[in-house]
Amino acid sequence: MIYKNSEGKRRELAAGIFQKTLVWGEKTLLSEFVLKAGAILPRHSHPHEQSGYLVSGRMRLVVGEAAHEVSAGDGWCIAGGVEHEASIIEDSVAIEVFSPVREDLVPR
């Protein structure tokens, strides 16, 4: 599968949290997140492993009980089933990979 930037739609998952699926295969799904300063991604979990890279901005990421401030260039990996949340400090862009594929993020 080849991703063209003009394809796909960005959707708002929560106030100020926008997600766009870039490409997916049998085992992984790649997403772009555009995150507005002041937005909150509520605490949640899912069975998928989630690896991310902060392209720009700054946010506070809570994984389990551990809080981390992440800045552009930082990355993370969250095991499946672990609760996590994010508070967006500055307008940010993140790229994340989910495995296995998150069916709820596959464009229909």
Delimit the domains of the chain by residue range.
18-105
The pLDDT of 26-44, averaged and rounded, is: 97
Strand partners for 98: 29, 50
Q: Express each pLDDT in 41-65 by its tens digit.
A: 999 999 999 999 999 999 999 999 9
- Residue of 53, 38, 46, 54 whose CA lies nearest to 102: 46
Q: Choose among 23, 40, 34: nearest CA to 98.
A: 23
Looking at domain 18-105, its CATH architecture is Sandwich (2.60)
Peptide bond preceding 100: is omega within 30 degrees of 0, i.e. cis? yes
Other C-beta atoms lying within 10 Å of the C-beta of residue 38: 12
- Look over the chain and give the mean of its residue pLDDT values, rounded to a whole number: 94
- Summarised one tens digit per residue, pLDDT across range 77-105 is 999 999 999 999 999 999 999 999 999 99
Query: Is pLDDT of 2 > 90?
Result: no
Per-residue pLDDT, 101: 96
